A = this chain, B = another copy of it.
Amino acid sequence: MQSFQPPRRILMGPGPSDVSPRVLAALARPTIGHLDPEFQKLMEEIKAAMSRLFNAPDHACVPLPAPGTAGMEAAIMNLLEPGDRAVIAINGAFGGRMADMADRAGAEVTKVEFEWGQPVDPVKVEEAMKGGPVKVLAFVHAETSTGARSDAAALCALARKYGALSVVDCVTSLGGIVVDVAAWDADVVYSGTQKCLSAPPGLSPIALSKRAQAAITGRKTKVRNWLLDFNLLMSYWGGEGGRTYHHTAPINALYGLHESLVALFEEGQQAVLVRHARTHESLAAGIEAAGLKFLVDEPHRLPQLNAVIVPDGVDEAAVRSYVLAKWDLELGAGLGPLKGKVWRIGLMGASATPWHVRLCLSALCEALEAQGFKTDAKAVLAAADAKLA
């Protein structure tokens, strides 16, 4: 057993995205205690930065000590008690996961299903909301499995209209497209660190409205989860009146998240969103010039997650293996019904640059050629470049 030296990789899958040298360096700073007064200051800075990034000034914001799925589980398990009704929109893998969790919480789950690649249709969701009291309306803002963006404002408004609490999965959206918790009047919103924040995986930033907090403190039954029980967590992360030991926070991972937030605000929240949008336009121009098509219609496309349809006669996995072997480039595969049918190309955080677009298009053209699918690589790059001129 020897020290592990990772190979060079260019990360353009569905996450993790490339982690910048400054964030990697932050991870390696000396570990201090999780109850240290200096660590408390770090925690407060992270909470404040998350609140700013989510635009959630009135929400409680904390980074949960586990990957993005923990945010989903915390939202579902804290809000739902046995017998509660939950309406869950499913337009990809992650909506389905929410429904599974709600079932484990003992809730009655009403699934509202859509074809993978389509956004959630609020009209269809409203029909489901009408059938009796609903405790939670949950949906995915940016479906990582398909690259479709849903209308979070409209869906959160529906939740308010029917007296339900909204749960919004922003794992892939935060830092890549507008996430505006205050404007949406959303209740529980969570994300991950390994997508557009470009920190390593392992943490899940989450924001809870006052309504959500009241629902949790007023539960009749214990949350079916100890590590993610907000009744316990909030006194660990709460700044005023001292902290109560709960778990041991993942210190060094939090150094990394903090540094990624410092970098994001240095660049500017708006500038980061514009960079994601422009990089996507460049990639999309190249993809189309190569004769390839997107899974998702243009108005609903996420800039940071591009699901590209595998052309007839091309071996999906062989293309990914080729670009990994020849270009150290990681692209994502399709999940579930999209397995073998799409590639998922991430343009997230530090991976959303013109350099990444050019590398990806070059590698993809070469891999397609190797499969007998003709492309004009020069024209493809020219089309991509033109969007950035």
Residues of A near any B CB (own CB < 8 A): 1-9, 11, 13, 15-16, 18-19, 22, 24-36, 38-39, 42, 45, 48-49, 65-70, 72-73, 77, 97, 100-101, 103-105, 192, 194, 200-202, 222-227, 245-253, 255-256, 258-259, 261-262, 265, 324, 330, 335
Contacts and interface: CB of A to CB of B under 8 A. Distances in A.
A344 B202 CA distance: 29
Contacts of A72: 226
A19 B253 CA distance: 14
Contacts of A225: 73, 77, 104, 224-225
Given A27-B27, A248-B15, A1 B49 contact: yes
Contact of A24 (B28, B35, B256): B28
A376 B11 CA distance: 59
Q: List the 3 shortest-distance A-B pairs measured between CB atoms, nearest first.
A: A202-B250, A28-B28, A66-B66
Given A13-B33, A31-B19, A4 B255 contact: yes
29 contacts: A1-B48, A3-B258, A4-B259, A6-B31, A6-B38, A11-B32, A11-B33, A13-B35, A16-B32, A19-B30, A19-B31, A19-B252, A27-B27, A27-B28, A32-B330, A33-B330, A65-B202, A66-B66, A67-B250, A69-B226, A69-B247, A70-B227, A104-B225, A104-B226, A192-B248, A200-B250, A202-B252, A250-B253, A253-B253
A214 to B, nearest CB: 21
Contacts of A258: 3-4
B6 A29 contact: yes
Contacts of A32: 6-7, 9, 11, 16, 330
Secondary structure of the A contact surface, majority rule:
loop
Contacts of A1: 45, 48-49, 261-262, 265
Contact of A31 (B2, B18, B39): B18
A303 B69 CA distance: 37
A215 to B, nearest CB: 18
Contact of A256 (B249, B252, B261, B335): B252
Given A9-B30, A16-B31, A194 B104 contact: no
Nearest to A333: B35
Given A8-B30, A101-B226, A245-B335, 14 more contacts: A3-B26, A6-B255, A7-B38, A9-B32, A25-B28, A27-B252, A34-B201, A65-B202, A73-B227, A103-B222, A194-B248, A200-B252, A201-B250, A201-B251
Nearest to A5: B29
A94 B32 CA distance: 23
Contacts of A45: 1, 4
Given A4-B45, A201-B249, A222-B104, A30 B34 contact: no
A272 to B, nearest CB: 15
A7 B335 CA distance: 44
A22 to B, nearest CB: 8
Contacts of A226: 69, 72-73, 97, 100-101, 104
Nearest to A101: B226
A35 B335 CA distance: 13
A143 to B, nearest CB: 14
